[in-house]
Structure 1
Amino acid sequence: MLNYGAIANKPHVFQSLTGLKIEEFQQLLPRFEQAWNEYVENHHIQGKIRQRRYGGGRKSQLESREDKLLFVLVYFRLYPTQAVQGFLFGLGQPQAHEWVHKLSAVLNAALGYEKQLPEREPHRLEAVLRQYPSLEFIIDGTERRINRPKDKDDQNQYYSGKQKGHTVKNNVISHRRGKVVFLSDTYEGKKHDKAICDEEDYQFPPKSKLWKDTGFQGYEPKGVTTLQPKKKPRNGALTEAEKQRNRAISSERVEIEHQIGGIKRCKIVVDKFRNRTAHYVDDVMETACGLHNFRLTYRQLATA
């Protein structure tokens, strides 16, 4: 049975299973315990009439705080079926399902306490971006595959011609040489990247510089200098100068591809998403961004 004690002295295995180094795990653990205690207080103690105190009765296989955090990190990192997740930790599938959703919320709260979650509200975006004096940002869209919806109208809305499958989509904004600072709402795969920008009405600080790709063709927020590779004209060709400029822009913009790659260390946002619980497809993307930001911040501090 998998537990913290079994792999705490195996750093390579530990990082492969969780996506975090053991030191990073220990850094996150106090915040996770804080979030767990608040969850228990809010959901199991307040307003409850009990015959015995919370925690009485048969002991859980996930009794320690370390095992709880390990459980949810393994789920995000590897995204096994819940039957397999339960088998790994000595639980049945129904218990694994309950713990997955309970501890996902706790992990998200812990990352919030660490101030690693991206902003989600577009009306607060400008204020958040003002915290970065360079005022240089990169925007990109990312898609994730989902199971085909049962409803025919939903099948049409979630079908992505680019991915040739049913997907959901988010826009991501990061600052240069930094972490993900904003994550859009989760939209159906048919929706265009620029349409998400228009709908959420992003506002940037004046004199900002924004790198974008051709998926944002025509997106020109007020007071912002945008840099985008030039499309090859139909039945034409780019000049050598235009090709060089495109390469220069792409070499700067590629940074957000690394950020998205960091987010997608969590297989839960890479593999076809199987869970149909309301809002969970959006919640896991936010948490995956938070885990990426947490890793990035901790490793930057470690090398400073």
Structure 2
Amino acid sequence: MNYKSIQQLKPRAFKRRFGVRRNTFKKMVKTLKEFQTINKKNQSGSKPLLMIESQILVTLEYWREYRTYFHIATSWGVSESTICRIVHRIESELMQSGMFRLPGKKALFKGGLSQPEVVVMDVTETPIERPKRKQQEFYSGKKKRHTLKSQLIINQETGEIICTFFGKGRCHDFALFKASAVHFHPEIQGLHDSGYQGINQYHSNSYTPKKKPKKRELSTLEKDYNRVLARARIGIEHVNRRLKIFKIFGDTYRNRRRRYGLRCNLLAAIYNYELNLAIPKCQPSNLT
């Protein structure tokens, strides 16, 4: 495999192969070249075996397929340790460049025209291998296995990911929200699932599904409310699906957990970048 052969792929095939559009790949190349030029140091040594374009393709392939370093190394004709160093360096430099960053928690409370009107919050889980220590902290009763949790908050109108937060599988969704220290502006409308019962104490302009009481059925009005809420929240499930086309996020995570947050934030920022190229229209909320 080499960069020249990959250039012959059609745009649709390139997207299927590496998980991003060709324009996004070109932006990543330009960003890294500028970053490396600004932060260039007097370094001695041999010339890199792979040029910068190939290094980015290696990293994208690792995220997309999540094969082992060994298998990717045999495809590109380099050593396993070289692939490991390339992936870690590209990830760190992309994050340090500032080009692929999320708006962050401040965007939910600063007000102004850029403030989202409606946000949707949800938690998705990524399976992990059984930890050697403190296994109970990572065991998810919902998934019946050890997981890492990712809390996503998106703009319901545009589908843009605003901020993320991460926790262990045993942590309840509402407890994860409180640990994240996220504060919503009073004018922002929040749409949440049943795991966030009690969030009205922290943000009064929030909506959660009506739970079925004991020995009583939900009324027709309550069922209609839950149906409208689910329809308004469906966008975040689509976001989770788009992120999980990268197998490193969707399959069992094998790497060290301390780098999990960096990779998820980077993939979320790349998703936002591609979203801005062609923002899909989402259905507005009708809860008020």
* Pairwise same-fold verdict (TM > 0.5): yes
Could you tell me which residue of structure 2 aligns to residue 26 of structure 1? 26
Percent same amino acid at aligned positions? Answer: 27
Structure 2: distance between partners of 1:78 and 1:128: 38
**AA aligned opposite 2:223:** K
Give the conservation status (yes or no) of the 8 Å contact 2:110–2:185.
no
**AA aligned opposite 2:7:** A
1:68 paired to 2:41: no
Which of 178, 181, 201 is the aligned partner of 2:162? 181
Q: 1:27 to 1:94 in 2, by over 3 A?
A: closer
Give the conservation status (yes or no) of the 8 Å contact 1:144–1:168.
yes
Give the conservation status (yes or no) of the 8 Å contact 1:85–1:96.
yes
In structure 2, runs of 5+ residues without a counterpart are 281-288
Describe the superposition over 1:156-206 as per-residue Cα deviations: whole angstroms up to 9, x where unpaired. 00000101110011211111222001111x211000110012223321112
Secondary structure (helix, strand or coil) at the match of 1:230 reads coil
Secondary structure (helix, strand or coil) at the match of 1:182 reads strand
Alpha-carbon offset, residue 89 of structure 1: 1.5
Could you tell me which residue of structure 1 aligns to residue 258 of structure 2? 279
Secondary structure (helix, strand or coil) at the match of 1:233 reads coil
Q: 1:263 to 1:190 in 2, by over 3 A?
A: same
Structure 2: distance between partners of 1:298 and 1:230: 37
Structure 1: distance between partners of 2:227 and 2:245: 27
Describe the superposition over 1:41-99 as per-residue Cα deviations: whole angstroms up to 9, x where unpaired. 3xxx26xxxxxx54x42x43312x21121111111111111111111221111211121
Q: 1:201 to 1:36 in 2, by over 3 A?
A: same
Describe the superposition over 1:95-126 as per-residue Cα deviations: whole angstroms up to 9, x where unpaired. 1112121112123334x325x4352xx5x354
Alpha-carbon offset, residue 128 of structure 1: 5.5
Structure 1: distance between partners of 2:267 and 2:210: 32
**AA aligned opposite 2:275:** L
Q: 1:85 to 1:107 in 2, by over 3 A?
A: farther
Could you tell me which residue of structure 2 aligns to residue 219 of structure 1? 199
Number of equivalent positions: 278
Give the conservation status (yes or no) of the 8 Å contact 2:186–2:205.
no
Structure 2: distance between partners of 1:87 and 1:234: 59
Q: 1:38 to 1:82 in 2, by over 3 A?
A: farther
Structure 2: distance between partners of 1:128 and 1:147: 39
**AA aligned opposite 1:287:** L
Could you tell me which residue of structure 2 aligns to residue 132 of structure 1? 114
1:204 paired to 2:212: no
Could you tell me which residue of structure 2 aligns to residue 299 of structure 1? 278
**AA aligned opposite 2:87:** V
Give the conservation status (yes or no) of the 8 Å contact 1:32–1:69.
no
1:109-258 correspondence to structure 2 within 5 Å: 109-110=96-97, 112-114=98-100, 116-119=101-104, 122=105, 124=106, 126-127=108-109, 130=112, 132-151=114-133, 154-178=134-158, 179-184=160-165, 186-220=166-200, 222=202, 224-258=204-238
1:8 paired to 2:11: no
Q: 1:126 to 1:91 in 2, by over 3 A?
A: same
In structure 1, runs of 5+ residues without a counterpart are 47-52
Relative to the length of structure 2, the TM-score reads: 0.88
Give the conservation status (yes or no) of the 8 Å contact 2:140–2:169.
yes
Secondary structure (helix, strand or coil) at the match of 1:241 reads helix
Q: 1:182 to 1:69 in 2, by over 3 A?
A: same
Relative to the length of structure 1, the TM-score reads: 0.84
Q: 1:60 to 1:134 in 2, by over 3 A?
A: closer
Structure 1: distance between partners of 2:245 and 2:53: 21
Could you tell me which residue of structure 1 aligns to residue 285 of structure 2? none
Describe the superposition over 1:12-42 as per-residue Cα deviations: whole angstroms up to 9, x where unpaired. 3321221122233223321132234456x3x
Q: 1:131 to 1:199 in 2, by over 3 A?
A: farther
Alpha-carbon offset, residue 254 of structure 1: 0.7
Alpha-carbon offset, residue 134 of structure 1: 4.5
Secondary structure (helix, strand or coil) at the match of 2:200 reads coil
